[in-house]
Amino acid sequence: MAEKVVVYGSGCKRCQQLKANAEKAVAEKGLGVKVDYVTDMGEIATKGFMSMPVLEIDGKAVVSGRVPDAAEISMLL
Amino acid sequence: MESIGSFLLDQVLKMNWLSDLLWEPVVALGLDPSSAWGGSVHFFLYDTIKITTLLCVMIYLISYVQSHFPPERSRKIMGRFDGIGGNIMGALLGTVTPFCSCSSIPIFIGFTRAGLPLGVTFSFLISSPMVDLGSLVLIMSIFGPEVAVAYTLVGLVIAVVGGSIIERLHMDDQVEAFVRGDAPTDAELVSMTRTQRLAYARDETASTFKKVFPYILVGVGIGALIHNWIPQEVIEPILGSSNPLSPVLATLAGAPIYADTFGAIPIAEALFAKGVGLGTILAFMMSVTTISIPSITMLSRAVKPRLMVVFIGICLVGMTISGYVFNALQPLFS
């Protein structure tokens, strides 16, 4: 079960959509974890991410550069 | 072969059958096809449907191709080339790497921290918005294959030369401090399955359509206005061959505008019909797609003013020069 869910993005529409989908998936599974949202460019760069947005679960990037729906995120969790 | 080629060009890309078909609703509305109103309505319907259809088909195909070239991968490929080879690869990969303004800063930082030369990164950043498969097909559908290929080559040349100049100017101190830093931990590439790629292509098509459709409507609206209401005598002295400064004007007029090729093409098409030179039109389209107030605002978060001015200057000068060259070469294209 996922313990830490982070969305990285630059505040664009797609990034916010990914965060919303992730929150929906987390809520549906009743995980009770908060979805963090990182927009700091320095931090994103240190991680080496370039395709926004990125979804990271427990420290591992699982989605990059696209916006999967809540059902797919649910599977990843 | 030739007849198959011209069939594809005229009926599939240019959709001449659609043009013929759309005179019927114009006549049904009681409008005279030869009147300005009839012409405007026809131009509006035909261009909106044609451009929107091409947009959806092309973005779907392009997104699928692009899903194979995430920036992380392009960066690795570029890193293998030295000198001008790096600039050429940067310009070429810029055409196939998915690029939205929200990713431009992370890409800029990612490339820089990975040790790519500044010039290579700029070759990529110039070609990315200016040249892509979508604009190639769209320009082909209106101006024919020769012009489309010429536009693409010129775009790539500007990207390669522009990046090389920035490299020679040694402006590495001209990026904001946070851009530098530790090389990224080689982020594991999240690869996609075939199903995910298809879903990605579908989502990209839907979101691009939503984003671009208003621009198409505005572009086609302006195009219809130019096409049927503004007499040639008004446009000719400003943007026509009688004004030696027309490529300069077109480049400067296009710069602040934020649109992509899909919004710019109906305006270009209408101007062309009014006798504006091919080079002037290509300069306008390049300027609209490559430089805009939002993209400059975004990039200025990571780049200091001096480099910003050099970047904009190189783009403007490059586009203006290609405008003059194409105006001079225009007889070859007709």
- pLDDT band of residue B185 (cuts 50, 70, 90) is low
Report pLDDT digits (tens) over B245-256: 889 988 988 888
Q: Of B283, B267, B258, give the one whose Cα is nearest residue B142.
A: B267
Other CB atoms within a 10 A radius of the CB of residue A11 amount to 11
- Pick the residue from chain A with its C-alpha nearest to B73: A50
pLDDT at residue B44 above 80? yes
Closest CB from A47, A52, A60 relative to B103: A52
**What pLDDT, in 10s, does the model give residues B127-147?**
988 887 788 888 888 888 888
Residue type for position B191: S
Interface TM-score (ipTM) > 0.90: no
Which of B100, B112, B185, B212 should one mutate to test binding to chain A, selecting the residue with the greatest count of A CBs within 10 A? B100
From the list B181, B199, B302, the residue facing A46 with the nearest CB is: B181
Per-residue DSSP letters for B85-109?
HHHHHHHHHHHHS---HHHHHHHHH
Contacts of A63 in chain B (CB under 8 A): 190
The boundaries of the domain holding residue A47 are 5-76
Residues of B in contact with A48 (CB under 8 A): 72, 110, 113, 184-187
Mean pLDDT for chain B overall: 85
CATH number of the domain at A62, please.
Answer: 3.40.30.10
Domain boundaries in chain B? Answer: 2-333
Q: What is the mean pLDDT of residues B81-94?
A: 90
Residue in B70, B75, B302 closest to A65 by CB: B70
Q: What are phi and psi of B64, to 5 degrees?
A: -65, -45
pLDDT at B334: 66
Query: Of B153-162, B196-205, B325-334, which has the strongest mean pLDDT?
Result: B153-162
Number of structural domains (chain A) is: 1
Tell me, yes or no, if A71 comes closer than 8 A to chain B by beta carbon. Answer: no
Q: Do B100 and A14 touch (CB under 8 A)?
A: yes
Cβ <8 Å between A50 and B75:
yes
Is the distance from CB of B101 to CB of B298 less than 8 angstroms? yes
On chain B, the residues whose CB falls within 8 A of the CB of A66 are 67, 192, 196, 199-200, 203
> B118 pLDDT band (50/70/90 cuts)?
very high
The pTM is what?
A: 0.82
Residue A6 has pLDDT above 80, yes or no: yes
- Residue positions counted in chain A: 77
